[in-house]
Structure 1
């Protein structure tokens, strides 16, 4: 399977090029025929740009990302919505993008920080459980030796173990 770091930029590049080359002269003339109408009429076609200053419907210049100032100033250009100019649209999208990037960075920082904190907490818990098991084992061992000593006393075997010299 292809790596998503390669596929996503390639897909965006292909879509961008397809959008740039998809503009044909027939769609370009469709916008100019809407001159003298209203902004709403002009913007029914997504390839059109309305200039409030000149009251003209212009084909959106896809070769440039933003319409040039000579064609229509950004604060007078309308695309998509008649009530929002291009300048406000760019500022809004920039702020929204910045907020998303900052939120992503905060989440990334918090997740990494919490993951490290969680692993330290997990290691401490495992250490406590290990210590608890060791102390229980030591208690059982001392109880067993006490019980064995009591049994030896009961049956009179409390003396020297004859087999201790072989060990």
Structure 2
């Protein structure tokens, strides 16, 4: 039997419905969650589809359609899912904080990478060249204005024309 003939079987098992996989994964998983009422949290949570409520000591099927279990079923502070020692409210807060930290870290990394990438890029260099060219043009305009103003002052006082002191030099 070669690997190609096993591939459809592996894919079928991997993508089949969760209860079939869950029944083969752990003992007591095929048992309905409601039948484990009055037992312990550990026994109830052996099945991943179950939710344990501490105050009522009941094991119920997790309401997947509502994402969060409603307060009428069990308050979030008393609900346990996956781990008996962590309540559902703490789990949600922890996951939200971790998610926010990851998102902020990604945004900071993206900002830093974009900033560093723009520093040496050709568009940054072209922008710097345009600025230098603009400042040179402005400087030349100011220099021409000053020359014109000096020439006007020379004409006003009759100093334009040949320099009378040039023959002494």
Question: Of 68, 78, 81, which aligns to 2:80?
Answer: 78
**SS in structure 1 opposite 2:99?**
helix
Q: Is the 8 A contact 1:48 1:59 kept in 2?
A: yes
What is the root-mean-square deviation in Å for CA atoms of aligned residues?
A: 2.6
Counterpart of 1:57 in structure 2 is 59
Counterpart of 1:6 in structure 2 is none
State TM-score, norm by structure 2.
0.55
Q: Is the 8 A contact 1:34 1:42 kept in 2?
A: yes
Q: Aligned-pair distance for 1:68?
A: 0.2
Cα distance in 2 between the residues matched to 1:91 and 1:109: 27
Gaps of 5+ in 1: 1-14, 20-26, 128-167
Counterpart of 1:111 in structure 2 is 113
Cα distance in 1 between the residues matched to 2:114 and 2:65: 42
Any idea what the Cα deviations from partners look like across 1:66-102, whole Å, max 9, x if unmatched?
Answer: 0000000000000000000000000000000000110
Q: Aligned-pair distance for 1:30?
A: 1.0
**SS in structure 2 opposite 1:87?**
helix
Q: Residues 97, 90 of structure 1: CA spacing in aligned structure 2 closer, same or farther, 3 A cutoff?
A: same
Counterpart of 1:30 in structure 2 is 32
Gaps of 5+ in 2: 1-14, 19-28, 130-169
Number of positions where the alignment pairs a residue of Structure 1 with one of Structure 2: 102
Alignment of 1:1-167 (within 5 A): 30-119=32-121
